[in-house]
Chains A and B, each alone.
Chain A
Amino acid sequence: SQQGEEDPQALSIQEGENATMNCSYKTSINNLQWYRQNSGRGLVHLILIRSNEREKHSGRLRVTLDTSKKSSSLLITASRAADTASYFCATPPFNSGGYQKVTFGTGTKLQVIP
């Protein structure tokens, strides 16, 4: 079944540094989404990149998508302590009949040390 997997599983950096996390998936996708989850809270949508896009920016976030390698990366520039959270990718499958089961990866736990 379709599944995104993030790596690394955990990442610890100093405040001000950049953080990069990756997502790999298995089959054709409609789009790829990144979410953030702060401890004890629900997931919050960060950014969506469509399958025909290669790069997208939103504030300090930069997402790339390589459909030939079935992978995506999320870059957080100039990290802040408030960026400490788990980050998940989600991959809705290519729409081939209306079946839209979105699966989430296992997440990257990011710790930004002040």
Chain B
Amino acid sequence: DAGVIQSPRHEVTEMGQEVTLRCKPISGHDYLFWYRQTMMRGLELLIYFNNNVPIDDSGMPEDRFSAKMPNASFSTLKIQPSEPRDSAVYFCASSQGGSHEQYFGPGTRLTVT
């Protein structure tokens, strides 16, 4: 298996632009997680899905953030409009079962100027 795939690996954009991050989980995994990591705040859980359904989005910082999972093999995290404080590394992870080990993607490093 290729593991969790994220794209793009790096994204540089200007403030106010829309940003879309993509994730392909490991086949057969029923949970998908989106995290954000910064030096100041560490690793934060933004939202997670179970069987494509959003279960908890309490970590999504603002209405500018939205996430979708249209099918079991694809999820997106969208930021619109983006702001400099959104600069961070965004990770997608998947697991088989909610309390089991999670498999992380390589992350997307987002820089908003």
Chain A interface residues toward B at CB < 8 A: 30-31, 33, 41-45, 48, 88, 90, 92, 95, 98-104, 106-107
Contact = CB atoms under 8 A, between A and B. Distances in A.
Given A42-B91, A101-B56, 20 more contacts: A30-B99, A33-B101, A42-B4, A42-B105, A42-B107, A43-B43, A43-B102, A43-B104, A45-B101, A45-B102, A48-B101, A92-B98, A99-B56, A100-B31, A100-B50, A100-B98, A101-B45, A102-B45, A102-B98, A104-B45
Contacts of B101: 33, 45, 48
A48 B107 contact: no
A104 B3 CA distance: 21
Interface residues of B, number: 22
B45 A44 contact: no
B43 A42 contact: no
Contacts of A41: 106-107
A110 B47 CA distance: 29
B48 interface: yes
Contacts of A103: 45
Contact of A88 (B33, B43, B107): B43
B80 to A, nearest CB: 25
Contacts, number: 51
Contacts of B31: 100
Contacts of A30: 99
Contacts of B103: 45
Nearest to A95: B99
A102 B32 CA distance: 12
Nearest to A43: B104
B100 interface: yes
Contacts of A44: 104
